[in-house]
Structure 1
Amino acid sequence: MAYKTILAVLDTPQNATQITDFGIALAEQFSAHLVGVHAETLAAVPLIAPMEIPDPAAVQVLQEVAQKETAEVERIFRERTAKEGLSTECRSFISSAGYGSVSVMETVRSSDLIVASQSDPAHADHRADLETFLFESGRPMLLVPYTMKTPQPIRRVLVAWNGSREATRATFDSLPFLKAAEAVEILLIDPPERNDQTPELAGTEIAATLARHGVKVTLTTQETSGGLPAAAAIENRLADNSIDLLVMGGYGHSRWWEMLFGGVTRSLLDSMTALTLLSR
């Protein structure tokens, strides 16, 4: 298994260079085809009273702004990917649904891996609907911290394991990274005691399975004290072990209720220090 089609989410000119460079590094590592995607969401058009017809001047301005940004993102992508032997293409979409449009989702679902940037609080124009990508695409998503500007080799990986469907999906979706890594640690935090298994044996089966794939894996079971949140325990482990990639399930409520990540996932994404691969 390898990533052969990598999709780079180029939602703004501010992060287009960063995500293109990370996409290039991954495309070169896995000999993959790199697709840059940019989607513009058409803003609400002011209406002219009393007939409430669209204001032609406002429509023209909105279209020009969208076209200008799309052209800038495409320019950045094409200039950065102008390397001999690199297979790339750039796709742009303009619709009222933006990144949630059917056309964008069809492209996303045909990729092996999505690469996107963590939201930068300094830029309010981060528009890619990453929650929709995670919930609806069925594809793993690699999030890059907005502070991480230069791709680095992924040597040490931490897998946050709790035996859930989401954690299982993320673990197997990350196999290309796990097999290439120098060290992979499976971390269990406060595993429950079951009738058929003690906490000490939790995670041994997934560790054995990964080892059969040639993954250099170790297993760590950690019991928190003083009510330390799971997110904080994972963050401490990331810092202590100089982790390059965190692998975890994307947990959240149904999209029919609210499009928000669950507590542990959201806490980690707000303060992420390492590349993070999420799957649902």
Structure 2
Amino acid sequence: MTYKTIVAVLSAAEDAGKVTDHALALARRTGGHVIGIHAEIPVVVTLIAPMEYPDPNAVMDLQERAQRQSREVEQAFRSRCERDDISYEWRLFTGTAGYASAGVIDSARGADIVIAGQFDPDVDGPSREDIEDMLYESGRPVYLISNAPSGPAPIERVLLAWNGSRESARAAFDALPFLTSAREVEIFTVDPPENIMQSRDFCGAELAATLARHGIKTTVTSGASDGHSVADALNRRATEIDAGLIVMGAYSHSRLRQRLFGGVTSAMMRNARVPTLMSR
């Protein structure tokens, strides 16, 4: 298994270069094809009162700004792909649905992996809802590039977050190309449960045996949250072992609950310190 079709979600000029660089680095290792996609959202003007009309010049200025951003994103993508002589294509989608549009989701569903920038409220890039829609609706693993300044260095250590859920199992096997090429993989459980089905001391042991049959060197560890969030525990452990990638399942709890009360998935979308591969 390898990643042969790679979708790069290019939301804004500020993150287009970084996302493209990560997609190309992966494509060079796998001989993959990169699809750059950008969703241009047309300006929607809301009228507050019946007699109020939008200034046509202001509307045209906003439209031109959106089109200019699309051109800048496309140029950043194409120039990097041509420089690296990588197989690629460019897709521009226009519509009010943005990254939840049928065309964008269909492009993602036809890929092996989706690469996107981490949600950053200070950058005119994807909103948290954009990333959530891509992850929730595409059925494909989403590789989120952290806001840390480091580039797409080879990944030698992977932290595999494990809680025994369907989502974490899906993530583990979606990430096999990264796991098999890594020097070390740590299966890490936060606050492992103790029940009649499994002792906390053996949480993750069966997964480790399965991965070992793929030739993957693994260790199994666990840690206590100690009153902190699970996301904090994952970030802290990733720093301790100098992991270059976190692999985790997404939305083990309902999406609505996560939006209302927060959750590990939402927290890691905002605050992951290293690139994170999520699957649902």
Normalising by the residue count of structure 1, what TM-score does the alignment of the two structures yield? 0.90
CA 1:54 to 1:121, structure 2 compared with 1: closer, same or farther past 3 Å? closer
CA 1:157 to 1:255, structure 2 compared with 1: closer, same or farther past 3 Å? closer
4+ residue stretches of structure 1 with deviation over 6 A?
51-55
Matched length: 278
Shift of 1:191: 1.6
Q: Which residue of 1 aligns with 2:108?
A: 108
**What is the letter of the counterpart of residue 167 of structure 1?**
S
| Pairing of 1:92-241 with structure 2 (within 5 A) | 92-123=92-123, 125-127=124-126, 129-222=130-223, 224=224, 226-241=226-241
For residues 28-61 of structure 1, give each alpha carbon's deviation from its aligned partner in whole angstroms, at most 9, with x where no partner exists.
0111000111101122135598588887555543
Q: Which residue of 2 aligns with 1:4?
A: 4
Normalising by the residue count of structure 2, what TM-score does the alignment of the two structures yield? 0.90
**What is the letter of the counterpart of residue 17 of structure 1?**
G
In 2, Cα distance between the equivalents of 1:203 and 1:185? 10
More helix by share: 2
The secondary structure found in structure 2 opposite 1:38 is strand
Q: Which residue of 1 aligns with 2:65?
A: 65
The secondary structure found in structure 2 opposite 1:111 is coil
Matched, 1:44 2:44: yes
The secondary structure found in structure 2 opposite 1:188 is strand
**What is the letter of the counterpart of residue 100 of structure 1?**
A
Shift of 1:141: 0.5
Matched, 1:277 2:277: yes
Shift of 1:111: 0.9
Contact 2:120 2:270 in 1 (8 A): no
**What is the letter of the counterpart of residue 136 of structure 2?**
F
Q: Unaligned 5+ residue runs, structure 1?
A: none
Q: Which residue of 2 aligns with 1:14?
A: 14
Contact 1:253 1:260 in 2 (8 A): no
Contact 1:3 1:32 in 2 (8 A): yes
Contact 1:245 1:274 in 2 (8 A): yes
In 2, Cα distance between the equivalents of 1:138 and 1:261? 24
Shift of 1:198: 1.7
Contact 2:225 2:233 in 1 (8 A): no
In 2, Cα distance between the equivalents of 1:246 and 1:227? 21
Q: Which residue of 2 aligns with 1:266?
A: 266
* Identical-pair percentage: 48
CA 1:114 to 1:182, structure 2 compared with 1: closer, same or farther past 3 Å? same
Shift of 1:267: 2.8
**What is the letter of the counterpart of residue 87 of structure 2?**
S
CA 1:101 to 1:251, structure 2 compared with 1: closer, same or farther past 3 Å? same
**What is the letter of the counterpart of residue 179 of structure 2?**
L
